[in-house]
Amino acid sequence: MADTTEIEAQNFWVSCLHARLLEIDGVSGSDPYETVVELLPELKGIQHALALAQNALVLAHARVHSLTITGRLPSEVLLHVFTCLSECDPASSRIHEGTSIFYCKANDPHLGWIVATHVCRRWRYLALSTPRLWSNVGAPFALPWVNEMLVRSEQHPFTLSAHVGAEDDELYDLVLKALSPDHVWRMKGLHIAFEGQSSYMDKFWLRNVEPRTSQVVEALTHPAPALESLAFSHLALRTYDLRNIFGSNLPRLRRLCLHYCSGSLDVDLPGLENIVNFEITVNISAVSLTELQELPLLLKKMPRLENLVINDVNHSPHTTNGATFDPVPLPCLKSFYLKRANMWFHHDLIALLGKLRLPPKARREFELYDRKDLELNSIVWTMEQVVPPATAFGDAGDPAARLSPSAIELVCNVSNHAYDDPLFSFKARVDDDPPWSKPRFTMNWTSRQALNALSVLFGAFELHAVTRLVFSLCNFDEITCIELRDAFGRMPAVREIVMRGASIRPLLRLLANPGPASPEAEGGQDLQQVFFPDLTALSITEGNFAGAAADDEGTDMALSDLLLKFIQRRAAMNVPLHFLKIAGCEGAEPLLAQLRCHVKDVRSVDY
C-alpha cells in the first residue's frame, strides 16, 4: 500500500499541473518522432512549472527552518559560538594553549570548526561574511585551505602555525607567502616548528632542512606591527642573527615561546622589554648547562613578564656540579610553572629557583619526577633541597616570607599506566584566591618515596591559619601518615576536613589515635592530644565501610570502627563534630544511627 503522504503529495502536484499534463495525455515514447517534436513547447512548459515548484519547495523549507531553534539563534550568539570553535578546534594542526603551542597529530586532517558552518545556508553565510573566523591559519593539515583562508580573512589580523620540514614544498611556499609584505603587516601570531637535527640524520638535515630553515628565518625581515605571539621550535639560535627580525618593528609583541631551541639564550630579540608571557623548553638534546646559565640573562630583559613557563629541566649527570646564576627580579610576575623537572639533576633546578625573585602573590606550580632506582635517602635529601627555594615567598630569613595558606589539598592518585609511579600533588590556597582560580602553590611529583618528605613540604608553610583540609587518597599507607602528625599539630584553626578515595583508612586512624600531647604533660599525666580542636565539619566520600583490615596490634578495625572511635573521642573531650557527610560509601548505612548520637547533622548520600 502506498504511503498516504506520498499519495497526497502526488495528488497535489497533479492538480497544479493538471492542465499542462492533459496536453501530453496519450503520448508515449514509442510514438513517431514528429508527434513528440510537436509537443516540445508543452514539455518545456511542464519543465518550467516543475522548476518553479522545486524553488517554491526550497523556499518553504527555508521558511520552516527559520522557525527552528537553530534558526532563531541571534547572529551575535552564533558568531560567538563560531569564534570559540575556531579557537578550540581550528582547521589545521591541533594548536593548544598550554604546555606547548605545537601539538600535531599525524595523519589526522580535519575541517575542525568549519563542519559546524555546513548545518544550514544561514550559518554558512554568516561564517563566510566574518573575516576573523578565518584568521587561525594552520599547516600542514590545513594545507589545502591555507590560500583560501588567507583570502577569507581579508584585512583581519591572522595567526600562522606551521611545521616546516624537508619535503613540504607547497607548505614552504605558503609560509614564505604569508611572511611577504602583502600579508605580514597584519600577522598577529607566528608559530613555526622546524625539523630538529639529530646525529643519525646530520647529512640529510644539512642538505634538505637547514637551507629551508635559513630561508624562512631570512624572510623575517619585513615589519610586523600587529605581531603579538612569536614561537619557534627546534631553531638553532647560535646559527642565526635575530636582532633585526621583522625590521626590529615589533611594538605589540607580548608572547614568546622557545621550544628545544639550541644555542645561546642570551639573544637580543626586539621587543623583549614588552614580553608578558614567556615559555621555554630545554632538555639535554637542545641546551647545555652553559647555555642554561644564560636563562637569567634573557629573563632580565623582560621586566614586564607576568607568566613564566619552563619545561624539561633535564641534564646529563656530568653537568650537575651547580650553576652560578645572578639574581633575577621579576616584579610583575603573576604565575610561574616549572614542568617535567628531573629531580635526579636537581642542582641546576635549585640554583635557578634560588635566584628567581618572585612576588609573594605569584602563583607557582612545580612538576617533578625522578628515576625509579633512586634510594629513599636521596629522594628525601633532594626534596629537602628543592622545597625551600620553591616555597620562598620573600627574602630569605624573613618569617613573613613564608606563605600562610587557608586551605591545603593532598592528592594521591593511581597512575593511568601500570608501568608508571603513582601521581601525587600538594596544593595550598590562600583567602585571596578566587574559588575558580588555580592554587597559590602546587607541587606535583611521581615518586612515591617523595611522600616521605611531606614533613619538609608542610614545614615550609605557616599552618596556623589553615581552616580547610582536602585529601584525595587512592594510594596511601600508614608509614606516610607519620609524616603528617607534626603538621596536624600545627593547624589549630582547621574547621573542615574532606576525605575521598579508597585509602583514607590510614588517615582516619591517625585522627582517631593522635598520640600523646607532649613528653611533659600537665600534672604528670599521659594526656592525649586532639587534632583540630575547632573542627566542626567532616566529609567522607568513596570509602569502604564494609571491609576490615588488621591494625598495628593485629586486631581487625574496619573503617566504620575508626570513624566511630574518632567521633566518640571528640565528643568525650567536649569538641564534637557538628556536621558529617558520608557520600558514595559502601556499608555506611548501619553506622548512621550510632553516628547521630554524637553528631548534630549527619547526611548520607548514595551515588
Tell whether 486 is covered by a domain: no
Is the pLDDT assigned to residue 570 strictly greater than 60?
A: yes
Count of the separate structural domains present in the chain = 1
CA angle centred on 82, ends 80 and 84, rounded to 5°:
70
Report whether pLDDT(177) > 80. Answer: yes
Strands (E), 496-598: 496-500, 537-541, 579-583
In angstroms, the CA 302 to CA 300 distance is 5
**Higher pLDDT among residues 589 and 92, named by residue:** 589
Write out the three cell numbers for 41: 513547447
Residue the block writes with cell 626586539: 270
Amino acid at site 426: F
Lowest mean pLDDT among 293-307, 476-490, 571-585: 476-490
CB 368 within 8 A of CB 341: yes
Cis peptide before 140 (omega within 30 of 0): yes
Contact 308, 330 (CB under 8 A): yes
The whole-angstrom separation of Cα 126 and Cα 122 is 6
In a domain, 242, yes or no: yes
Residues 164, 92: Cα–Cα separation, whole Å: 14
Q: Judge whether 576 lies within some domain.
A: no
Give me the residues paired with residue 582 across strands: 540, 604
DSSP 132: G
Q: Give the 3-state DSSP-derived string for 159-189, with helices as H, strands as E and coil as C.
A: EEEEEECCCCHHHHHHHHHHCCHHHHCCEEE
Q: How far does CA 283 lie from the centroid of its chain?
A: 21
pLDDT band at 118 (very low <50, low <70, confident <90, very high): confident
Segment 160-174, tens digit of pLDDT = 888 776 666 677 788
pLDDT surpassing 50 at residue 534: yes
Nearest residue to 230 via CA among 166, 306, 179, 167: 179
In a domain, 175, yes or no: yes
What's 264's DSSP letter? Answer: -
CA-based nearest residue to 488, from 443, 534, 441: 534
Render pLDDT for 199-243 as a digit per residue (tens, 0 to 9): 445 555 555 667 777 878 888 889 999 999 999 888 877 677 788
Could you tell me how many residues make up the chain? 607
| Over residues 141-159, mean pLDDT | 80
Q: What is the pLDDT of residue 276?
A: 96
**Does 107 reside within a domain?**
yes
- The tens digit of pLDDT for each residue in 242-274 reads 888 888 888 999 999 988 887 666 677 888 899
Beta partners for 367? 444
Structure-block grid coordinates of residue 250: 615589533
pLDDT over 70, % of the chain:
70
104 falls in which pLDDT band (50, 70, 90)?
very low
The closest alpha carbon to 340, from 289, 284, 290, 385, belongs to: 284
Domain assignment of residue 141, yes or no? yes
Whether the CB-CB separation of 426 and 443 falls below 8 Å is answered with yes
Residue 228 counted as domain residue: yes
Handedness of CA 39, 45, 51, 54 (dihedral sign): negative
DSSP assigned state of 243: T
Given a cut of 60, whether residue 25 has pLDDT beyond it is yes
206: which 3 cell numbers? 644539512
Tell me the backbone φ, ψ of residue 128, rounded to 5 degrees: -70, -25
Q: Can you spell out the DSSP letters for 546-573?
A: S---B-TTS-B--HHHHHHHHHHHHHHT
Amino acid at 319: T
| pLDDT computed for residue 536 by the predictor | 93
The string over 281-317, giving b where at least 16 C-beta atoms fall within 10 Å of a residue's C-beta and e elsewhere, is bbeeebbebebbbbbbebbbebeebbbbbbbbbbbee
Max mean pLDDT range (15-24, 179-188, 362-371, 598-607): 179-188
Domain that holds residue 238: 89-275
- DSSP per position, 459-478: HTS--TT--EEEEEESS--H
What 3 state SS string does 307-324 have?
A: EEEEECCCCCHHHCCCCC
Q: Note whether residue 212 is domain-resident.
A: yes
**Paired residues of 500 in beta bridges:** 472, 541
Report how far residue 326's alpha carbon sits from residue 6's, in angstroms, rounded to the nearest whole number. 84
* DSSP three-state, residue 415: coil
* 3-state SS class at 440: coil
Q: Which residues pair with 429 in a beta bridge?
A: 407
* Mean pLDDT of the residues in the chain: 76
Span 349-368, pLDDT tens digits: 777 777 888 888 889 998 88
